[in-house]
A and B are shown apart, each in its own frame.
Chain A
Amino acid sequence: MPVKERGYHGWEGSLAPRRFPWFPISVHGIRQVKEKKRAKLLFFFSAFPFLFFLIAVYVASKPELRFLDEITRFINDDSRFFDLFFTRSGLMFVLFLLSVYAGSDLISADLKFNSIQLYLSRPLKRLDYLVGKLAVVMFYLLMFSLVPALLLVVAKLLFSGTWSIGLSTLGAILVYPFLASLALASLVLLFSSFSPNTRLVIVGYVGFFFFANMLAGILSGVVFKHSALGLLSPERTMRHLSALLFGTKPAMAVPLWVAPLLVVMVSLLALTWTLLRIRRVEV
């Protein structure tokens, strides 16, 4: 009998190691998100920043549309183009919404229906469970950040006919969405592990982001008048990260390396905390 079928029965054999035990959790989660109500509508609107930039690339490649040069001149600077795409196109809000939609109930619903125990009664570690859930959110976030960015690279290549994108920009295109998705996915999972009430999870998560932005503004602009406090804002930190990766002008007078360090640390902290929350669940 396969181990998976054995449920709560005692089993004394040794487990054959599987490379990705979390994979079935991810596949199941990805399917569930796709089948949620109004998922297609949300995905459609999530593609708007990409569509807008795609049109811009097309317009810039047409000599007869030169009169739009004023609007589309940012397109010729690849670094600036992708910096704008990631940080100023509304993509951040889109990714934020997607993280709410795909991630808020991932652990919360399991807490509500006591299904974490069911997962952990299988040959799965708590870490596998967490990685499985993380992969669900990452999948959707990368789908609407990394994939469109790569499509824009292809579109630029096709429309201009020459390869202009530098290797460092290409690297940044790969790294930025990954780090942004990791941070959002980790945070939403942390909030999801706080309560079995998904509504409370969403409101807490949204409140945290918007309050952090507000607080960063007031502390850096009014109270302490030090732009480093802008790093309290997830949005500003992501812009700072983008400035580092794409070599654009940062808005804050803070060393650029602080941004990736902060993003990675916050992500790791959130994931560790989530893991501790899952550890509290008794099997």
Chain B
Amino acid sequence: MAALYSTAVVFGFFFRLSLHNRRTWLLLGAAFIPVLVLLVARAVTMGGTGTAIGPVLFNQMAVPFLFTLYIPLMGLLGGSSCVGDEIDQQTLVFLTTRPVKKSAVLIGKAGVQTVISLVIVFPALAISFALGFGMYLLSSEGLARLGGYLLAGILATLAYTGLFVMLGTLLKKPVIAGIIYIFGWEYVVQFIPGSTQHLTISHYVKSLLPYKAGGEGFLMFQLEPSPDLQAVIVLLLLSAVFLVLAARVFSRREYVLSEPRI
């Protein structure tokens, strides 16, 4: 109970702090880039041959942008900042010399990052979908489809944030390692035969996306997507495991407040 209270207090404080942070607004602006591109594209193709460009743009631009670039990078920035910011600004001591479990501090801060990410990603995803699919959104099928994307967005945010929170507690330079994971490992395994893709978060996120197509890059499946339920369970489990591990490491490790961490 006390831990829950502490987590809530930490969450409240850092959430307010995030709202005053220029970085949050910058990230919010970046999330709307696909919306802007969709708007431009729709304007350009208006009165054209009638090709349904909206869904194509949503599936081939907005979804890859948000799911392969934006959510992982938000997770990386937010997750690694949970501990990294405290060490860089040398403020960690203010939290660790109070009667609060370190795990409560970490989970409170990770919670802020997750909520901020979702608050940013949700409208970007919903507006992109609306621009891409137009009136189809109002049908029950359209709504269900949007729900699928939003669910995938929540689980992807949880899993990536959890992973990078953990990496942030373990490594001095979590960002470089995170970039190697996102743009190195998650990309390379697409070309590795066998079931190696199961060792990535993106595989389960992709499996949950309502639209699955062949082709290049992100949506290319050499491996069959995992069943939806399995993907949901795996992503939830991964998020929980990452957070528990992060909390354990953070509680037991000492952090020397000196050199900058990148």
Which chain B residues lie closer than 8 Å to A93 at the CB level? 183-184
**Within 8 Å CB of B60, what residues of A?**
218, 222
- B134 beta carbon closer than 8 Å to chain A: no
Between A38, A215, A223, the greatest number of chain B beta carbons within 10 A of the residue's beta carbon is seen for: A223
* A203 in contact with B73 (CB, 8 Å): yes
Residue B19 is within 8 A (CB to CB) of chain A in the complex = no
**Interfacial chain A residues near B76, Cβ < 8 Å:** 203
Query: Taking the nearest CB of chain A, how far is it from the CB of B250, in angstroms?
Result: 18
Q: Is the CB–CB distance between A207 and B175 below 8 Å? A: no
For B40, list chain A residues within 8 Å (CB).
223
- Inter-chain pairs besides A197-B85, A200-B23, A222-B57, 18 sampled, C-beta below 8 Å: A42-B176, A93-B184, A97-B176, A97-B179, A112-B88, A112-B260, A197-B23, A197-B88, A199-B261, A202-B262, A203-B76, A206-B73, A211-B65, A214-B61, A214-B65, A215-B37, A222-B60, A223-B44
Say how far A276's CB is from chain B's closest CB, in angstroms: 19
B9 CB to nearest chain A CB (Å): 25
Please provide the chain B residues from 141 to 190 with a CB less than 8 Å away from any CB of chain A in the complex: 172-173, 175-176, 179-180, 183-184
Residues of A within 8 A of B17 (CB): none
Judged by a CB distance under 8 angstroms, whether A105 is at the interface is: yes
8 A-B residue pairs with Cβ-Cβ distance under 8 Å, sorted by A, are A38-B176, A109-B260, A112-B260, A197-B85, A218-B37, A222-B60, A223-B41, A224-B44
- Which chain A residues border B184 with CB–CB below 8 Å? 93
In contact, B179 and A105 (Cβ under 8 angstroms): no
Residues of A within 8 A of B30 (CB): 207
- In chain A, positions 97-128 with a C-beta closer than 8 Å to chain B are 97, 100-101, 104-105, 109, 112
Minimum distance in angstroms from B175 CB to a CB of chain A = 5
Q: Check if B77 is an interface residue, CB within 8 A of chain A.
A: yes
- B213 an interface residue at 8 Å Cβ cutoff? no
Give the distance to chain B from A115, nearest Cβ to Cβ, in Å: 12
Query: Does A52 sit within 8 A of B, measured CB to CB?
Result: no
Residue A257 interfacial (CB < 8 Å): no
**B residues with CB within 8 A of A:** 23, 30, 33, 37, 40-41, 44-45, 53, 56-57, 60-61, 64-65, 69-70, 73, 76-77, 80-81, 84-85, 88, 172-173, 175-176, 179-180, 183-184, 260-262
State the interface size on chain A (CB cutoff 8 A).
29
Pair B262/A104 contact, Cβ less than 8 Å: yes
Across the interface, B81 reaches (CB within 8 A) one of A37, A199, A218, namely A199
> Which chain A residues numbered 190 to 227 have a C-beta less than 8 Å away from chain B?
197-200, 202-203, 206-207, 210-211, 214-215, 218-219, 222-224
Known: A210-B183, A223-B41, A223-B45. A100 touches B176 (CB 8 A): yes
Closest residue of chain A to B65, judged by CB? Answer: A214
Name which residue of chain B comes closest to A221, CB basis.
B60
The SS class assigned to the B binding surface is helix
**Is the CB–CB distance between A105 and B260 below 8 Å?**
yes
Complex CA–CA separation, A101 to B172 (angstroms): 13
A73 to chain B, nearest CB (A): 22
Which residues on A sit within 8 Å (CB–CB) of B85? 197
Contact B179 A100 (CB under 8 A): yes
Complex: A222 Cα to B59 Cα, angstroms: 11
Given contacts A210-B69, A214-B65, contact A202 B179 (CB under 8 A): yes
Residues of A within 8 Å of B173, CB to CB, are: 36-38
Least Cβ–Cβ distance between A205 and chain B, in angstroms: 10
B81 to chain A: closest residue by CB: A199
Q: Are A218 and B61 neighbours in the complex by a CB distance under 8 Å? A: yes
Contact between B69 and A211 (Cβ–Cβ < 8 Å)? Answer: yes
Q: How far apart sit A101 and B184, CA to CA, in the bound complex (Å)?
A: 15
B3 to chain A, nearest CB (A): 28
How many angstroms between the C-alpha atoms of A214 and B34 in the bound complex?
A: 11
Among B33, B53, B70, B175, the most chain A Cβ lie within 10 Å of the Cβ of B175
* Contact assessment for B84 and A199 in the assembled complex, using a CB-CB cutoff below 8 Å: yes
A222 touches B80 (CB 8 A): no
Complex Cα gap A206–B175 (Å): 11
Least CB distance from A253 to B in Å reads: 20
Q: How far is the CA of A214 from the CA of B56 in the complex (A)?
A: 14
Known contacts A97-B179, A218-B37, A198 near B262 by CB under 8 Å: yes
| A202 touching B176 in the complex, CB below 8 Å, given contacts A197-B88, A207-B30, A218-B57 | yes
Measured between beta carbons, the chain B residues less than 8 angstroms from A37 are 172-173
**Which single residue of chain B is at the shortest CB-CB distance from A195?**
B23
Min CB distance, A197 to chain B, in Å? 7
A202→B88 contact, CB < 8 A:
no
- Whether B57 lies near A214 (C-beta < 8 A) is no
